[in-house]
Amino acid sequence: MPKSLIELRDWSAQEIKNLLHFSFSLEQKSQEKTHSQASVGLLFFEASTRTRVSFEVATHKEGLNSFLISSGGGTSIEKGESLEDTLDNILAMGPDLLVVRSDDQFDQQKLSQISKIPIISAGWGKKSHPTQALLDIRALMKKNLEIQDIRLVIIGDIRHSRVANSHFQLSEKLGYQVAVLCEDNMTPQNKILRLESLEEAYEWGNVMMPLRFQHERHVSRTENLNVKKFQINRDHLDTFKSNCYLMHPGPVNYGSELDESVKKHKQNLILSQVESGVWVRRACLQHLLEVSR
């Protein structure tokens, strides 16, 4: 059993399924609080709303003590201290678990190797966002979609997406299918089925997951990005079969990958994903604290 959750490829299919089932049993049980003495560091060296707040809510609901470092400033990184030194100092204060969001330059796997405590990745550059992929699948399980029946189409800026990478890893573990729909300069590095049009995507898949263009991770500002090429609107959703869903990891750039008209559609699961996030993160915190005891 790995002590950290950095990349889903490090976990077995059974361990991942157990974690997802644990998140459902947490929801069904009363509000038991455990590990109340544990101290959890939430270290967000990149901007975040959903992941940061849901980890804050999750630690609160689990009765854990937490401290937050947010990318907005207020740390000695402003005075020139490196991220590595910052982490060494935080580890020296004896937290029981760290949740870390960072860019690609910082090595989250190395942090997990040198620390005795569990590390949960809250997003690692373009590499991974394991809890996001887990909460996406949990939201679909909640809709009674069997995992092996999921045919997920990830649309848009796949190349710079940690969410896409985590789905590539998770789909190999759990046995669901993934395809991509994107322009040539946004293709993933690995071999994944590539679809050519939204029509083909709707024909092939039962879950559409457009992504925003992640400009902050583009090496050079990509000129002439056709951000509306695969835009999904309400008329598209009206043609979906009843067991087809729209998802988005957020943040959404309405007017680009999605039209505002999809917001209230019954097959739009975006807020259900966010709700699932708290349960998945509670399960991760409780489970990894238990494993590390």
- Which positions touch ligand CP (CB under 6 A)? 48-52, 123, 132, 249-251
What's the closest the beta carbon of residue 276 comes to ligand CP, in angstroms?
12
Q: Which is nearer to ligand CP, 42 or 195 (CB)?
A: 42
- Of the two residues 130 and 249, which places its CB atom closer to ligand CP in the complex? 249
Of residues 117, 127, 171, 182, the one with CA closest to residue 147: 171
Q: Which is nearer to ligand CP, 118 or 250 (CB)?
A: 250
In the chain, beta strands by DSSP E: 39-44, 65-70, 97-102, 119-124, 151-155, 177-181, 193-195, 207-210, 245-246
Token duo for residue 171: 């789909």
Q: How many residues does the chain have?
A: 293
| Residue 155 backbone dihedrals phi, psi, to 5 degrees | -120, 135
- What is residue 104's three-state secondary structure? coil
Dist. CA 179–CA 201, nearest whole Å: 8
Shortest distance, CB of residue 138 to ligand CP, whole angstroms? Answer: 14
Report the distance separating Cα 291 and Cα 118, nearest Å. Answer: 9
Q: In angstroms, what is the minimal distance from the CB of 36 to ligand CP?
A: 26
CB of 164 to ligand CP, least distance (A): 12
Q: Please count the other Cβ atoms lying within 10 Å of the Cβ belonging to residue 78.
A: 8
Nearer to ligand CP, 118 or 130 (CB): 130
In sequence order, the 6+-apart residues with CB closer than 8 A to the CB of 56 are 42, 66, 68
Q: Which is nearer to ligand CP, 132 or 231 (CB)?
A: 132
Contacts of 239 (CB under 8 A, 6+ apart): 202
Residue 225 to residues 183, 230, 256, 292, Cα–Cα distance (Å): 9, 12, 11, 46
Alpha-carbon distance 42 to 97, whole Å?
A: 9
The residue with tokens 């100092």 is 89
Nearest distance, CB of residue 107 and ligand CP, angstroms: 20
Please identify, using beta-carbon distances, which residue of 130 and 250 lies nearer to ligand CP: 250
Q: Which is nearer to ligand CP, 51 or 165 (CB)?
A: 51
State the nearest-atom distance from the C-beta of 49 to ligand CP, in Å: 4
CB of 163 to ligand CP, least distance (A): 7
Q: How far is the CB of 259 from ligand CP (least distance, A)?
A: 20
Residue among 49 and 76 whose Cβ is closer to ligand CP:
49
**Cβ(141)–Cβ(157) below 8 Å:** no
